Amino acid sequence: MIGSTGRATARGLRPRRLPAMARRLGPRRLPAAAVAVLAAGLLQAGGASAWAAGPPSPDPGVGVEEEGAEPSGEDCDAGTDAAGDSALAVTAITADRVARHPARKYAGFARDDRVSIPRQDEANTRQRYLDVEYALPAGVELTCVRVDLLDTTPRSGRTVLQTVTEAAPTADGGEGVRSVGRDRLKVRVTFDEQHPSKLRAKPAQVTRVGYRVSLIGEDQDGTVVAARKDSADFFPLWRLPAGLDRYGPRDDKTGGDDWCSSFTHGWLSSATGRALLPRVNDISGEHARNLGHQTHLTGDDIDAFHPYRFSGVDAGAAGSGGRNYARLVAATRAAMDGDADGLGQVKEWAETTRTRLAQLIDDGNVVRMYYAAGSAVKGDARFTAGWASALLRTGVYAYTDAKKEARELDLGIGEWSRIGNKVITARDFRPDHNDHLHVTLSETRRR
């Protein structure tokens, strides 16, 4: 039931109007009994053991849930003793769906269990919401809803990272809590401009997050009742570490394209990561929104600029990946025409690329790579699919010249010593990666 003031009220309740600015239910508003409970709650605030839950689940579909109402000490929250026999309860918490990619071929590639956490003092571009179902006893009015972002990393103690939303439910959800019917709420759990992130947590150390939803109500006697429940776990995504070079088009207006998993954030922050992938493009969209890939949904796929940059190519400029590939085509053509300088450039490309790929293979956290196969070139029949990977992997490209004679372009560098590796195999050289290197990381190291 939606009251005429726009506030949701429970059935049979006296209408009560809060001033618009009185979002917080301050202690002075509470009856003495509730204040006593609140004070008791303060003693537990911040104490990890007060919130200690069962074993954390790495499976985001099976989160740790807590029922009942423990005091937390903040002014929107309240104690349970006063409401020991209250039937106020959060009965279900369901995550919303991240918008699917409009193209059919990508629509099925989606995750809803990733949530982007902006840098300190920044906001999300797109907001995420939890659907909260609850049971409201007769005579109780829901006065306040609060969502705390929890660190649910295994062995973290489930500490509160930040209160994200704290507001009375309204019909329009202006402050982040919208009433949907009598027993459902839609609650914002991400950061908007008015409620930016204040997190100081180190991204690499927070590998799971969850949301604690607290409901505060008041019965007809003015007694405060409360209930809370934790959501299932989410995997946090973090902005690319500062200071890395980018290339390719940016997606800033639609939430960005550089969201990293906790592990990837740590890896890219390390000297090793920066040296191996100094210039990157897509990682993941905000909340793992699909940017037009069949991968890139977990913050662990990184598109990087070619290991070898041809002279004169501005790697930071738009289209630089394609231009660098075009230079490889031109140098290879010159080499096939007998030009020594062209041959030297292709050789340098192959050797530099082999070295970098080997370094990435030897970093046990790289589990997959894709790179250029080389495609047919319009107007020059000597180029057939796979020419670039043949040069890279074997050092030799066999082709048919204009006189239909079999020829070979031999770089004189022999076969790649790592040709049998499992991280970038023959089929991982693909025509859709002619213009960039794709690297997939896993926090579980390869054996």
> Rule CB under 5 A: is residue 303 a binding residue for Zn ion?
yes
> Rule CB under 5 A: is residue 438 a binding residue for Zn ion?
yes
Residue placing its CB nearer to Zn ion in the complex, 79 or 299: 299
Cβ-in-10-Å burial (0-12, 13-18, 19+) of 358 comes to: middle
> How far apart are CB 285 and Zn ion at their closest, in Å?
12
> How far apart are CB 428 and Zn ion at their closest, in Å?
12
Which region among 57-65, 246-254, 295-303, 377-385 touches Zn ion (by CB under 5 A)? 295-303
Find the helix or strand (DSSP H, E) in which 265 lies. Answer: helix 262-269
Which region among 64-72, 107-115, 297-305, 371-379 touches Zn ion (by CB under 5 A)? 297-305
Distance CA 264, CA 294 (A): 19
Which region among 80-88, 191-199, 264-272, 296-304 touches Zn ion (by CB under 5 A)? 296-304
> Rule CB under 5 A: is residue 166 a binding residue for Zn ion?
no
Kindly determine how many residues on this chain lie close enough to bind Zn ion according to the rule CB under 5 A. Answer: 2
Neighbours of 120 (CB within 10 A): 11
What is the end-to-end Cα distance of the chain in Å, rounded? 58
Q: Which of residues 245-274 bind Zn ion (CB under 5 A)?
A: none
Residue placing its CB nearer to Zn ion in the complex, 229 or 438: 438
> Rule CB under 5 A: is residue 279 a binding residue for Zn ion?
no
Contact at 8 Å (CB) between 235 and 113? Answer: yes
Which region among 57-65, 217-225, 299-307, 419-427 touches Zn ion (by CB under 5 A)? 299-307
> How far apart are CB 433 and Zn ion at their closest, in Å?
7
Per-residue three-class SS string for 407-437: EEEECCCCCCCCCCCCCCCHHHEEHHHCCCE
User: Residues 6 or more apart from 319 whose CB is under 8 A from it?
Assistant: none
Residue placing its CB nearer to Zn ion in the complex, 34 or 240: 240
- Pick from 152, 440, 432: nearest CA to 297: 440
Looking at 318-378, list the stretches that DSSP marks H as alpha helix, in order from N- to C-terminal side: 320-336, 340-362
The token duo for 83 is 């409401």
Residue placing its CB nearer to Zn ion in the complex, 115 or 291: 291
Q: Which of residues 217-236 bind Zn ion (CB under 5 A)?
A: none
> How far apart are CB 80 and Zn ion at their closest, in Å?
49
What residues line the site for Zn ion (CB under 5 A)?
Answer: 303, 438
